[in-house]
Structure 1
Amino acid sequence: MSKWIDISQPLTNDMAHWPGDTPFHYTLSATKEQIGSANIGEITTSLHIGTHIDAAFHFDSNGKTVDQLDLDLYIGKAAVIDVSHTETITTAVLKKYPFDQTTRLLLRTSLPNNPKRFPSKFPYLDPEIAQFLSEKGIQLLGIDIPSVDAPDSKELHTHHALHQHGIHILENIMLDHVNPGFYDLIALPLAIHGADGSPVRAVLRPLEGNE
């Protein structure tokens, strides 16, 4: 059986974070030497650090929170496609790829994976792709960039368009080492009550005929 491929960013104290957000920080709050029994760690972080999912509550105060999401969205067959030839991802671009056999689509874009650098510019995802992806049955869109919208966007048009078409969002996956094709995906969020997002450990396993 094929091995699982990790496509999540490691959570490290020197990883990049969204400007203005709480950076990730791990430390030992107590050591075995201090208390005699165990090492005890603690973390502080934005929920949108590294590889993470957005709940609708992130951009819609009436939207679902992480604990209200259907876990089946984040487990199952996924298609990985390579759109790294363009800086602008439109319906015309996506129409060239076959992904009718799954409800989960992961995009490998032109931005190289670098967890320690926050990019000043992302490839552009046209909000109009939401309707096309919905017509194709997509319910989860994963991308290897920090957001489906530009870093300076206040309106978050693509977030809202995807939500309006029933498509959930997985951001900051790492796909530079992954070939296009079909995979099993696991990208479960933590059960954080009332949360707007959650870091995930995202992994892929090649399906038969895609190894």
Structure 2
Amino acid sequence: MKIYDITQEVFGCAVFPGDPSPERFKMLDIKNGDICNLTAFKMCAHNGTHVDAPYHFYADGKTIDQVSLDKFIGYAYVAEHEGEITAEDARRILQDAKNCDPACCERILVKG
């Protein structure tokens, strides 16, 4: 099984319009005499590489902590796409996954 790295660098990737840009803060610094280096950060949950839980789209959907990790293991279809995904884009990506291998339709990863 091939493993695909679709991660995006959090502080350099595109941010959805209206979402805040990620910020990092140096809390402690050994150079300033602190016992260790400590960094904090603030960001929207939809920045960078992430999973949209069903709750993101459905009022009665599961939150991410209610989704079993088993759902994230197995064959997947990897689609390359830049920018916002429209309904038509989603339909095309799903059809492409079905055409490639129906077993991959359970997990679709969008890289871009």
TM-score by length of 2: 0.72
1:150-169 map, 5 Å: none
User: Which residue matches 1:125?
Assistant: 90
Unmatched segments (≥5 aa) in structure 1: 79-103, 112-118, 146-211
Q: Which is strand-richer, 1 or 2?
A: 1
Give 3-state SS (helix, strand or coil) of 1:47's partner. Answer: coil
Runs of 4+, deviation exceeding 3 Å: 119-123
User: Which residue matches 1:187?
Assistant: none
Cα offset for 1:20?
0.6
User: Which residue matches 2:40?
Assistant: 42
User: Which residue matches 1:140?
Assistant: 107
User: Which residue matches 1:33?
Assistant: 31
User: Which residue matches 2:8?
Assistant: 9
Which deviations, in whole Å up to 9, do the C-alpha atoms of 1:151-194 show, x marking residues without a partner? xxxxxxxxxxxxxxxxxxxxxxxxxxxxxxxxxxxxxxxxxxxx
State whether residues 6 and 111 of structure 2, in contact with CA within 8 Å, keep that contact through their aligned partners in structure 1.
no
Superposition RMSD on alpha carbons, in Å? Answer: 3.1
Identity %: 24
Q: How many residues align?
A: 105
Give 3-state SS (helix, strand or coil) of 2:51's partner. Answer: strand
Q: Tell me how far apart the structure 2 counterparts of residues 17 and 64 of structure 1 sit (CA, whole Å).
A: 25
State whether residues 31 and 38 of structure 1, in contact with CA within 8 Å, keep that contact through their aligned partners in structure 2.
yes
Q: Which is helix-richer, 1 or 2?
A: 2
1:69-88 map, 5 Å: 69-76=67-74, 78=75
Q: Letter of the aligned partner of 2:36 in structure 1?
A: A
Q: Tell me how far apart the structure 2 counterparts of residues 24 and 65 of structure 1 sit (CA, whole Å).
A: 23
Bigger relative contact order, structure 1 or 2 (CA pairs below 8 A, ≥6 apart):
1
Instruction: Determine whether 1:21 maps to 2:16.
Output: no
Q: Letter of the aligned partner of 2:89 in structure 1?
A: Y
Q: Letter of the aligned partner of 1:10 in structure 2?
A: E
Give 3-state SS (helix, strand or coil) of 1:143's partner. Answer: strand
Instruction: Give the direction of change, closer, same or farther, for the CA distance of 1:120–1:139 in structure 2 (3 Å limit).
Output: closer
State whether residues 28 and 39 of structure 2, in contact with CA within 8 Å, keep that contact through their aligned partners in structure 1.
yes
Q: Tell me how far apart the structure 2 counterparts of residues 27 and 125 of structure 1 sit (CA, whole Å).
A: 37
Unmatched segments (≥5 aa) in structure 2: none
